[in-house]
């Protein structure tokens, strides 16, 4: 295990940010900490980095207990949500910081910084100041700075949070490639379930200071451990006690078997995906996701009467635990 | 238009006219009497003494001011609220009261009345008095800037392996440097112009414990008007120089 948190509790006044949290992260993996704001995910990352001291519990990095270790001795790279650039230093000096304070030889620093600047695609921008960079460039500079001293662990706090959608998508892909090349154990915090499912090879879902589920993206989506995870990792329809994903609703023009009558209220075409809003004969609203092909075959129009069947529905007990899935 | 004219007229009447009058009176009879007045040994000594006091007080209050600002903003210790309020005391308290307090403290029968070296009517008490009255400026300039820059850059430096001292030297200090410079200028100006507290503890002996401000007063009282005006011009010139430095500092501040 590269990183382990054991029974970590952290309070801020009366607020319990982390409530007996335990996670372990495999060496070389890319792990996503996913949860709504206030769920404790950033606090957990800061505890691992040593920027917060837990009230109880222990942190291990590469098998060594690090709970009482100062952040500068933990050998972690940390990228802050707003990048925390050293505003009075050039891009070059920002990236070199971790090396110059370790008094590495000048030639080595020059070589390493040049290499990193190329890696993060900031070639030619070394003499600029952070204020002269775009958000995406600042983000990549912060990454290069964190990677400079070759940390064992890379921690990213909402790394793409403050960027616009297109830059986010580019950077996600770029982070994946970077991780494939460098294989540094990486944990990133996000509140965006799509980001977690796309980038991470293991996802830790957090809510109200607790870990709800730890699983690879596919398992998380297909076998959510409880109602919270089911609702958080993707859109759902709630029909009484049953939870159904919008793509698990089948639409047809023929009444067959368990299908029920519904009226098409609205159709939204988003390129490949088509979203259909329906109202069932019992007044129940349903959101349905179809592929463009499926939608074209059905030739749907607003006001049409169709028949809907739920392919997979899930039910959860009062406490949120799954009762067995029902193939309808 | 009215606002601009009004404020200029106000500044003219309150600030510019008196200062201009001093310059006018000092040079009324040409450069020669002015030169004679300021090359008087007592005047030269007073100038030197004022500069000496300033040279001790400014570094002291700069160092203390930075430490105090860091303690107030970065360390949430009990009692820091009190420190924060106390720092403003010299602005609220009349310098005469400060002088009197020092007099009682270091005078005969005071708590520190029997020190092996001379405090009252000597350089130490004058330095103490000036340090007291010019204490708030660096703190007051640095505190808001420290708050504004936040802790993220310092945290980032820590995760990169930087010790607390290196972080302070390489990250915090450069970020507050213009605020410190601004505070130093204000401290200098205040130290040069200090009169009330120092006049009580110094004794004001000409050629020995007389600062430039006290020299102005003494000359005026002895009907040596040219001497008083000449020394005033000297003080005003020092003040203008520090103000010019402040403009330079402000310009540097804007460029970052």
> DSSP characters for A209-249?
TEEEEEE-HHHHHHS-SSHHHHHHHS--EEETTEEE-GGGE
Q: Tell me the mean pLDDT in the region B143-172.
A: 94
Domain residue extents for chain A:
3-224, 235-327
Q: What is the pLDDT of residues B199-244, one digit of tens each?
A: 999 988 999 999 999 999 999 999 998 899 999 999 999 988 988 8
Whether the CB-CB separation of B201 and B195 falls below 8 Å is answered with no
Q: Report CB contact under 8 Å: B159, A51.
A: yes
- If you measure CA to CA, which chain B residue comes closest to A86? B153
Task: Identify whether the C-beta of residue A204 lies closer than 8 Å to the C-beta of residue A3.
Answer: no
Q: Which domains does chain B have, with CATH numbers?
A: 30-255 (1.10.3720.10)
- Determine phi and psi for B105, rounding to 5 degrees: -70, -45
Kindly list the distances between the CA atom of residue A70 and the CA atoms of A4, B43, B85, in Å, as whole numbers in the listed order: 17, 57, 32
The residue of chain A with its CA nearest to that of B164 is: A72
pLDDT at A96: 97
Burial environment of residue B103 by CB neighbours within 10 A (0 to 12, 13 to 18, 19 or more): middle
Q: Do B175 and A78 make contact, defined as CB atoms within 8 angstroms?
A: no
| A·B CB contacts under 8 A | 65
* Alpha-carbon gap: B79 to the closest alpha carbon of chain A (Å): 19
Instruction: Please indicate whether, in this complex, the C-beta atoms of A97 and B153 are within 8 angstroms of each other.
Output: no
Taking each helix axis as running N to C, give the angle between helix B95-106 and helix B123-133, from 0 to 180 degrees, rounded to the nearest 10.
140
Bridge partners of residue A260, in order along the sequence: A308
Q: Are A59 and A5 in contact (CB under 8 A)?
A: yes
For residue A109, give every residue at least 6 positions away whose Cβ sits within 8 Å of its Cβ, in sequence order, or none.
Answer: A96, A99, A100
Burial class (CB in 10 A: 0-12, 13-18, 19+), A190: buried
Query: Which own/partner pairs from A221-227 qualify as long-range (CB within 8 Å, at least 24 positions apart)?
Result: A221/A197, A224/A314, A224/A322, A225/A321, A225/A322, A226/A316, A226/A320, A226/A321, A226/A322, A227/A316, A227/A320
Candidate from A82, A98, A101 with C-beta closest to B152: A82
DSSP state of A282: T
The predicted structure's pLDDT at residue A328? 46
Q: Does B157 touch chain A (CB under 8 A)?
A: yes
What is the spatial distance between Cα B17 and Cα B6, in angstroms, rounded to a whole number?
15
**pLDDT surpassing 70 at residue B109:** yes
Neighbours of B9 (CB within 10 A): 10
DSSP secondary structure string, chain B?
Answer: -HHHHHHHHHHIIIIIHHHHHHHHHHTTT-HHHHHHHHTSHHHHHHHHHHHHHHHHHHHHHHHHHHHHHHHHHH---TTHHHHHHHTTHHHHS-HHHHHHHHHHHHSTTSTTTT-SS--TTSHHHHHHHHHHHTSHHHHHHHHHHHHHH-SHHHHHHHHTT--HHHHIIIIIHHHHHHHHHHHHHHHHHHHHH--HHHHHHH---TTTT--HHHHHHHHHHTT-HHHHHHHHHHHHHHHHHHHHHHHHHHHHHHH-
CB atoms B161 and A145 under 8 Å: no
CB count, 10 Å around CB of B52? 14
Distance CA A206, CA A229 (A): 9
User: Which residue on chain A is closest to B152 by alpha carbon?
Assistant: A84
Interface test mutation site (partner B, options A43, A76, A79, A84, max chain B beta carbons within 10 A): A84
- CB contacts of B151 in chain A (<8 Å) are none
Distance from CA of A316 to the nearest CA of B (A): 42
Q: Which A-chain residues 70-129 have CB contacts (< 8 A) with chain B? A: 70-78, 80, 82, 84-88, 97-98, 101-102
pLDDT score for B211: 95
DSSP string, B164-216: HHHHIIIIIHHHHHHHHHHHHHHHHHHHHH--HHHHHHH---TTTT--HHHHH
- In this predicted structure, what is the pLDDT of residue A317? 81
Partner-chain contact B156 A145, CB within 8 Å? yes
Please count the other Cβ atoms lying within 10 Å of the Cβ belonging to residue B233: 21
Cross-chain residue pair A101–B152, CB shorter than 8 Å: no
Fold of A235-327: OB fold (Dihydrolipoamide Acetyltransferase, E2P) (2.40.50)
Task: Tell me whether B252 touches chain A (CB under 8 Å).
Answer: no
**Of residues B48, B75, B239, the one with CA closest to residue B146:** B75
Phi, psi values for residue A33, rounded to 5°: -100, 110
pTM listed for this prediction: 0.83
How far is residue A157's CA from residue A161's CA, in Å, rounded to a whole number? 9
pLDDT of B254 strictly over 60: no
User: Which of B152, B162, B174 is nearest residue A72 as measured by Cβ atoms?
Assistant: B162
Q: Is the dihedral of CA B160, B170, A162, A130 positive or negative?
A: negative
Give the pLDDT of chain A (328 residues) as one tens digit per residue.
Answer: 789 999 999 999 999 999 999 999 999 999 999 999 999 999 999 999 999 999 999 999 998 999 999 999 999 999 999 999 999 999 999 999 999 999 999 999 999 999 999 988 999 999 999 999 999 899 999 999 999 989 989 999 998 877 888 888 888 888 888 888 888 999 999 999 999 999 999 999 999 999 999 999 999 998 999 999 999 999 999 988 889 999 999 898 888 777 889 999 999 999 889 999 999 988 899 999 999 999 888 888 888 999 998 888 888 887 778 886 555 4
Burial call A23-60: b when 16+ CB within 10 Å, e when fewer: bebeeebbbbbbbeeebbbbbbbbbbbbbbebeebebb
Searching chain B, which residue's CA lies closest to the CA of residue A154? Answer: B159
Taking the C-alpha atoms of residue A79 and residue A93, their distance in angstroms, rounded to an integer, is 16
Tell me, yes or no, if A165 comes closer than 8 A to chain B by beta carbon. Answer: no
Shortest Cα distance from B141 to chain A (angstroms)? 19
Residues of chain B with Cβ-Cβ distance to A101 below 8 Å are: 160-163, 166, 170
How far apart are alpha carbons B256 and B252 in whole angstroms?
A: 7
Task: Find the CB nearest A78 among B153, B159, B170.
Answer: B159
Count CB neighbours of A275 within 10 A: 16
Task: Name the closest residue on chain B to residue A144, using Cα atoms.
Answer: B160
**CA-based nearest residue to A112, from A140, A67, A149, A77:** A149
> What is the nearest CA distance from B55 to chain A, expressed in angstroms?
29
**Quick one: pLDDT at residue A325?**
55
Per the CB < 8 A criterion, the answer to whether A76 and A151 are in contact is yes
pLDDT bucket at B245, cuts 50 / 70 / 90: confident
Cβ within 8 Å of B, A 250-309: none
A135-147 vs A91-100: helix crossing angle, rounded to 10:
20
Mean pLDDT of B80-100: 91
* B153 touching chain A per CB within 8 A: yes
Question: Which ranges of A242-298 would DSSP assign to H, the alpha helix?
Answer: 292-298
Contact A258, A309 (CB under 8 A): yes
CB A113 within 8 A of CB A89: no
Among A71, A54, A164, smallest CA distance to B154 is for A71
**Nearest CB neighbour to B161, from listed A85, A87, A101:** A101
Nearest of A79, A239, A94 to residue A153 by alpha carbon: A79
Instruction: Give the CATH fold of the A3-224 domain.
Output: Rossmann fold (3.40.50)
Select from A84, A101, A102 the Cβ nearest to the Cβ of B156: A84
What pLDDT sits at residue A219? 94
Is B156 in the A-facing interface, judged by CB distances under 8 Å? yes
Query: Angle B173-193/B136-149 helices, nearest 10 degrees?
Result: 160
Contact B159 A101 (CB under 8 A): no
ipTM: 0.85
């Amino acid at each position: 295990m590269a990183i382990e948190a054991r029974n970590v509790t952290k309070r801020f006044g009366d607020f319990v940010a982390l409530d007996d949290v335990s996670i372990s992260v495999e060496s070389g993996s890319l792990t996503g900490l996913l949860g709504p704001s206030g769920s404790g995910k950033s606090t957990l990352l800061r505890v691992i980095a040593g920027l917060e001291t837990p009230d109880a519990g222990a942190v291990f990095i590469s098998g060594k207990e690090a709970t009482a270790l100062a952040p500068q001795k933990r050998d972690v790279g940390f990228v802050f949500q707003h990048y925390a650039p050293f505003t009075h230093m050039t891009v070059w000096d920002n990236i070199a910081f971790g090396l110059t304070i370790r008094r590495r030889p000048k030639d080595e620093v020059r070589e390493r910084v040049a290499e990193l600047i190329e890696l993060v695609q900031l070639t030619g921008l070394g003499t600029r100041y952070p204020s002269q960079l775009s958000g995406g460039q600042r983000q990549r500079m912060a990454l290069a700075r964190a990677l400079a001293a070759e940390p064992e662990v890379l921690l990213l706090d909402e790394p793409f949070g403050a960027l616009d959608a297109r830059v986010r998508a580019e950077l996600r892909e770029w982070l994946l490639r970077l991780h494939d090349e460098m294989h540094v154990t990486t944990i990133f915090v996000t509140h965006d379930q799509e980001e977690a499912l796309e980038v991470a090879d293991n996802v830790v879902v957090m809510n109200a200071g607790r870990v709800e589920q730890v699983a690879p993206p596919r398992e998380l989506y297909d076998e959510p451990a409880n109602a919270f995870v089911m609702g958080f990792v993707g859109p759902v329809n709630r029909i009484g006690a049953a939870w159904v994903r919008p793509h698990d609703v089948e639409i047809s023009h023929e009444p067959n078997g368990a299908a029920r009558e519904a009226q098409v209220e609205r159709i939204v075409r988003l390129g490949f995906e088509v979203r259909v809003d329906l109202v069932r004969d019992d007044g129940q609203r349903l959101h349905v996701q179809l592929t463009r092909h499926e939608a074209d075959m059905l030739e749907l129009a607003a006001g049409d009467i169709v028949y809907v069947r739920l392919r997979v529905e899930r039910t959860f007990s009062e406490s949120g635990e799954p009762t067995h899935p029902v193939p309808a | 238009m009215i606002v601009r004219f009004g404020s200029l007229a106000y500044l003219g009447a309150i600030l510019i006219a008196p200062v201009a009058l001093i310059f006018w009176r000092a040079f009324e009879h040409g450069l020669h009497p002015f030169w004679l007045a300021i090359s008087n040994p007592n005047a030269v000594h007073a100038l030197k003494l004022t500069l000496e006091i300033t040279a001790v007080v400014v570094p002291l209050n700069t160092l203390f001011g930075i430490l105090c600002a860091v303690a107030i903003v970065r360390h949430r210790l009990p009692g820091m609220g009190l420190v924060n309020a106390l720092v403003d005391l010299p602005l609220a308290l009349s310098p005469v009261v400060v002088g009197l307090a020092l007099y009682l403290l270091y005078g005969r029968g005071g708590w520190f009345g029997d020190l092996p070296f001379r405090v009252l009517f000597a350089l130490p008490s004058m330095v103490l008095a000036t340090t007291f009255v010019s204490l708030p400026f660096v703190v007051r300039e640095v505190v808001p800037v420290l708050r504004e820059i936040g802790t993220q850059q310092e945290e980032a430096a820590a995760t990169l392996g930087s010790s607390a001292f290196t972080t302070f030297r390489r990250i915090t200090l450069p970020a507050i440097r213009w605020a410190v410079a601004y505070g130093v200028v204000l401290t200098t100006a205040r130290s040069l112009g200090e009169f009330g507290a120092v006049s009580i503890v110094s004794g004001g002996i000409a050629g020995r414990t007389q600062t430039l401000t006290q020299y102005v007063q003494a000359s005026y009282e002895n009907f040596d008007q040219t001497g008083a005006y000449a020394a005033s011009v000297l003080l005003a010139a020092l003040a203008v120089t520090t103000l010019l430095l402040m403009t330079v500092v402000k310009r540097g501040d804007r460029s970052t």
